[in-house]
Amino acid sequence: MKQSARRPVPAGLSLERGRLRSSETPTSNGEARRPSSASEPSERRPGSSKRQRRDGGRSAEGAKAAALTPEGYEKARRLLMRRDPILAAAIARIGPCGMADRQRKDHLSALIGAIVSQQLSTKAAATIFGRLVALFPDGHILDAAAIAGQSDAALRAVGLSGQKVGYLRDLSARIADGRLQLDELDALPDEDVIERLTAVKGFGRWTAEMFLMFRLHRPDVLPAGDLGIVNAIQRLYRLRKRPDAKRILRIGEAWRPYRSVASWYLWQSLKLEVSSLR
């Protein structure tokens, strides 16, 4: 009898499977079940920074990673295709990485944009952000004092909720009194950037990770709690159940030091799936 061809397995997934006996309990039908002590990551929990450092959240043992250049994105794409044959098939269909295309003018506008876009569609967020910047000279938010100078009524009038106005107030107050220094973020390690940003009201770990990836162009960020990443890995790697954060981090070992780029391709793979159904 002919044996069916086996699908190639990337190094990270192979490593993850090899640890099954010690880290997961098999059910009666052979499906891996995570231990009862495992939990999904929340936006912020006491001690989560230590866990993330131990599980690979900080690249190069805590050192600040250099921002990716256009040449760096291409190098990352080639490395990922060599390392992971499953992801390579998706990368070949998607083409060059487009992470650098999503960019704000500066750190402040990027953080304000993150607040505005929470729980909104891309189109709605862009509309409200456009109305917000129109309140300022030349359509540019110069500094935190400019935000502080706007009344709550003016901010609410552009479409911001009262809660988001509160988030903007906290952000501008922290910048004004020096608790958050935007100029120092470029030189800080990933985990320290996350720590600074999650101290601001309305900013969870996911928002800070998006800032690292799309504003600071940090190469090795893997947002293991992102629903899109979870769904993409489950579908692309044909897993029987949704992977938890620990499993995602193990699979992602094969993508170091370019887990940010791998994450972008995972998100794009979901779009490929939708377009193939049309």
Is 226 designated active site?
yes
CA dist 238 and 32 (Å) reads 13
Exposed, middle or buried by CB within 10 Å (0-12, 13-18, 19+), for 92?
A: exposed
Backbone φ and ψ for 25, nearest 5 degrees, come out as -105, 125
- Among candidate residues 170, 190, 220, 226, the one labeled active-site is 226
Active site residues: 226
